[in-house]
Amino acid sequence: MNMTVALGARSYEIAVNEPGGFISTVRAAVGAASYVIVTNTTLQKLYDVELRQWSTELQAPVCAIADGEQHKHLGVWSDVLDFLLRANLDRNAVVIAFGGGVVGDIAGFAAASFLRGVRYVQVPTTLLAMVDSSVGGKTGVNHETGKNRIGAFHQPSLVWVRTTYLDSLPEREYAAGYGEVFKYGFIGGADMAEFIRKNHFDIALRHPEALEEAVCRSIAIKADIVSRDEREGGVRALLNFGHTFGHALERYYQYRGLLHGEAVFVGMACAIEVSRRARLYAPADASWFDEMQTKLMRPSLPATPDIAKLYAAMFSDKKVRAGKLRLVLPVKPGVCEIRDDIAEETIMEAWESVCA
Ligand SMILES: NC(=O)c1ccc[n+]([C@@H]2O[C@H](COP(=O)([O-])OP(=O)(O)OC[C@H]3O[C@@H](n4cnc5c(N)ncnc54)[C@H](O)[C@@H]3O)[C@@H](O)[C@H]2O)c1
């Protein structure tokens, strides 16, 4: 399936499981260019044959960074830039990011800064990267003061998705990525809400057809939102459903012992609980919300959290405006609203009931 992020001159295609190989697709998308492949050492080993073939056919040197979120910092970004500079690439260069969200974010940010910006292509290899990080143009690195604090909006020229890459993805990473798919069930309209409710187990168990449809539907929702609000001035904030709570958890545990998607699962449970307590959804919809609550993955937390500290951690979020929490809260199956008027007590109670 082919989808488009419609951003005028910066529009691009997202090709999901399209026939035809990567080489011909990338050449058709970007025209004559010189290439470089950025990946990590784990993927370089796992996909050795494929990457060697791409490297030979595109005459693309391969830059493999160390694997892990702890390497998503300015030092590694600078190493990638060194690599690009030493490879003697010019402004017609295209950076191919082959990997999960970490590789995509660093390679995209390097492409945004190299020679004041060259094109890049995303080849996402995790479920999270397929449905979330590869689409939308947010690139960047972490800083010791917080995650993703340094970066740039820089849209890719192509996103090339092959769901078969997920065959090698470890179960925990897959489940964490599913958190982002599940999220679209709350923000992507009534049809997506019903699709996720009905196909939850098939997607969770990687049934190929359900998985492909879930990936396509999720990307279509994200592409539509990004097309309408590239820089997060409005509707793009809906993508943060579950994230204000999730980010607070990640910060509280100092980014150890809990994957991002796992934290988002807990965050979605909290957001649903806030909506229930604040009576934001109609009694007629309660059965849908109750069913979705039971389907949410509940990862075990590294330690029992201190709820007051978790609440305080919510205020370090980039999305806090004028000291007010802006929460994305579900009001109907598939529909969320942004609210900044929820009482502290209600939020604390939601944390208690989910994390107790
Ligand atoms: N730019 C955005 O809009 C955006 C959105 C959401 C998240 N992010 C960022 O994405 C990052 C998380 O991304 P992620 O969850 O993909 O993590 P990741 O990139 O760290 O990948 C997770 C692990 O899976 C391995 N892996 C990747 N593909 C594999 C495959 N096919 N087979 C086997 N192993 C594979 C990786 O080597 C890594 O060890 C975070 O840094 C987050 O901030 C960015």
Ligand 1: which of 67, 70, 103, 126 to mutate, judged by most atoms within 8 Å of the beta carbon? Answer: 126
Residue nearest to atom 12 of ligand 1 (CA): 101
Going across the sheet that includes 62-65, the strands are 2-5, 12-16, 158-161, 119-124, 93-99, 34-40, 62-65
| Residue 100 CA to ligand 1 centre (angstroms) | 3
Choose which residue among 173, 231, 264 to substitute to test ligand 1 binding: the one with the highest number of ligand atoms within 8 A of its C-beta.
173
Q: What are phi and psi of 126, to 5 degrees?
A: -110, 160
pLDDT at position 229, please?
87
Query: Which residues are known catalytic residues?
Result: 116, 138, 180, 222, 232, 236, 240, 243, 247, 260
| Residue-level pLDDT at 234 | 87
Ligand 1 atom at shortest distance from the alpha carbon of 68: 20
Q: Cα angle at 72 between 222 and 309, to 5 degrees?
A: 80
pLDDT reported for residue 53: 98
The DSSP call for residue 299 is P
Residues with a CB atom less than 6 Å from ligand 1 = 40, 42-43, 46, 67, 69, 72, 99-103, 105, 125-126, 128-129, 132-133, 136, 138, 147-148, 165, 168-169, 173, 260
With cut-offs at 50, 70 and 90, classify the pLDDT of residue 318.
low
The predicted model scores a pTM of 0.95
- Count of CB atoms situated within 10 Å of the CB of 167: 10
Name the closest-CA residue to atom 19, ligand 1. Answer: 100
The 10 Å Cβ neighbour count of residue 156 is 30
> Which residue, by CA, sits nearest to atom 34 of ligand 1?
169
State pLDDT tens for residues 251-286.
Answer: 999 888 999 999 999 999 999 999 999 999 999 999
Going from the Cα of 275 to the center of ligand 1, the distance in angstroms, rounded, reads: 30
**Nearest one of 25, 15, 7, 5 to 216, comparing CA atoms:** 15
Name the residue among 89, 315, 32, 289 with its Cα closest to residue 185: 289
pLDDT tens sequence across 183-242 = 999 999 999 999 999 999 999 999 999 999 999 999 999 999 999 988 888 899 999 999
Give me ligand 1 centre to Cα 102, in Å.
5
**Ligand 1 atom index nearest CA of 135:** 3
Average pLDDT, the chain: 95
Predicted local distance difference test score (pLDDT) of residue 356: 79
Model confidence at 347: pLDDT above 80 = yes
pLDDT digits (tens, 9 = 90+) for 94-128: 999 999 999 999 999 999 999 999 999 999 999 99
pLDDT of residue 320 exceeding 90: no
What is the per-residue pLDDT across 138-147, written as a single tens digit (0 to 9) for each?
999 998 888 8
